[in-house]
């Protein structure tokens, strides 16, 4: 299973798996009645977004991080995957397995078509082509292909959908709108456990997405260490020199583009499994820009970087955006009235609806001081700790030995 991976890779994989599986415990560090409970992120909806957008960013990094081709249209594959998954829920079954497989297949075919055309150009021209295709896809989904996408309302399931497999096996619901499931286990099923007076939630939907995330991370790890991955790095380093050696780089870049599109389709299918609704807004250029930010913020070309970037942005989006003036007044209630109002006025533009401002400032600081992203920051901290530990281990002199 770990053939071709060194000890560091195996250790990294095991750490990622441990953190992912223990996320409901790790992401809930503060008691529910604590003033810091606002910053807990261990609830199922947010944890699913962490791993789903982690898959999306990992796939994007395979293209951008390894080949250097910057795509501004990857949200098109995310949206196509969502539409394909919802159609599987409507036509075949509420089981998430056919939906996820269809999302990956359709997104892969769609990325093959777009990549075949876009990869005829490089640099900024490639980026503009992918952006154009994504915007065309958005407009088609929003206003032209309404029989397929249901336009601005979005595609959603209903009681009267055929669902031929569910009806054939007698599992179709008739009195209410069904919810996606995994062989009978509904994605929104949650088990609550109490540890040391604390209640933690373990969701079926999260662990299903987490298993696929770990599989996606493992495949990306193998790809990074494979001869194919080295060839992609060669494309990024000097494509012209590669062509001079008689190697045609286009099949490799097209394969990377399709693999990246399949990852995006998987993420789109999982979003539909979490919430069986597909809308054109998932294909907007802002969604494509978001995955670019995730990858750059975490660390381009690294394995953990896109995952860290995705978690960082989704945390800010879901935690800071919910902090309103009422919560701020609770935080600064210990101050005199005038100072309390001043602090609320000072902080409020950076939270709530203004969370983008905080993200922008942090992104600017990372780009200026940590060009390698969050991964570089953790590496610097690790080296600093190693130096401190090394200084603490003062070698014992001969005089000290004699004195002892």
Model confidence pLDDT, tens digit, residues 226-285: 999 999 999 998 888 888 888 888 999 999 999 999 999 999 999 999 999 899 988 988
Q: Is 153 exposed, middle or buried (0-12, 13-18, 19+ CB in 10 A)?
A: exposed
Domain over 7-285 is classified CATH 1.10.3470: yes
d(CA 111, CA 208) in angstroms, rounded, equals 25
Rounded to two decimals, the pTM is 0.92
Q: Is the pLDDT of residue 403 over 50?
A: no
Contact status, residue 113 vs residue 299, Cβ threshold 8 Å: no
pLDDT band at 1 (very low <50, low <70, confident <90, very high): low
The pLDDT, as a whole number, for residue 38 is 81
Which H or E element spans position 155? Answer: strand 155-156
Read out DSSP for 171-234?
---SSS----EETTEETT-EEEEEETTEEEEEEHHHHHHHHHHHHHHHHHHHHHHSHHHHHHHH
Those residues with Cβ within 8 angstroms of residue 336's Cβ, 6 or more apart along the chain or in another chain: none
Which residue has tokens 């790890």?
A: 221
């Amino acid at each position: 299973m770990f053939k071709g991976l060194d000890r560091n890779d195996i250790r990294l994989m095991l750490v990622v798996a441990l953190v992912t599986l223990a996320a409901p415990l790790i992401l809930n560090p503060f008691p529910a009645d604590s003033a810091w409970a606002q910053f807990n992120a261990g609830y199922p909806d947010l944890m699913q977004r962490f791993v789903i957008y982690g898959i999306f960013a990992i796939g994007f990094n395979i293209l951008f991080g390894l080949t250097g081709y910057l795509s501004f249209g990857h949200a098109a594959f995310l949206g196509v995957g969502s539409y394909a998954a919802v159609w599987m829920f409507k036509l075949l079954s509420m089981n998430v397995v056919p939906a996820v497989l269809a999302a990956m297949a359709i997104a892969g075919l769609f990325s093959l078509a777009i990549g075949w055309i876009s990869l005829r150009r490089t640099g900024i021209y490639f980026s503009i082509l992918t952006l154009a295709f994504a915007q065309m896809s958005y407009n088609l989904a929003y206003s032209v292909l309404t029989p397929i996408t249901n336009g601005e309302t979005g595609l959603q399931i209903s009681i009267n959908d055929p669902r031929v497999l569910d009806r054939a096996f007698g599992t179709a619901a008739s009195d209410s709108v069904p919810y996606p499931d995994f062989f009978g286990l509904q994605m929104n099923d949650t088990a609550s456990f109490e540890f040391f007076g604390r209640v933690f939630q373990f969701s079926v939907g999260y662990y299903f997405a987490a298993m696929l995330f770990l599989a996606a991370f493992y495949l990306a790890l193998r790809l990074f260490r494979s001869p194919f991955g080295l060839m992609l790095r060669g494309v990024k380093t000097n494509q012209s020199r590669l062509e001079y050696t008689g190697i045609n780089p286009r099949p490799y870049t097209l394969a990377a583009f399709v693999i990246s599109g399949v990852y995006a389709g998987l993420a789109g299918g999982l979003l539909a499994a979490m919430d069986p609704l597909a809308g054109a807004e998932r294909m907007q250029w802002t969604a494509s820009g978001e995955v670019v930010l995730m990858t750059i913020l975490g660390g381009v070309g690294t394995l953990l970087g896109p995952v860290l970037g995705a978690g960082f942005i989704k945390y800010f989006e879901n935690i800071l955006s919910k902090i309103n003036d009422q919560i701020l007044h609770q935080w600064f209630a210990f101050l005199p009235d005038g100072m309390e109002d001043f602090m609320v006025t000072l902080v409020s533009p950076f939270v709530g609806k203004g969370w983008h401002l905080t993200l922008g400032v942090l992104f600017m600081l990372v780009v200026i001081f940590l060009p390698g992203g969050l991964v570089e920051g953790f590496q610097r901290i690790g080296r600093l700790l190693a130096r401190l530990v090394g200084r603490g281990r003062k070698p014992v002199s001969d005089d000290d030995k004699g004195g002892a």
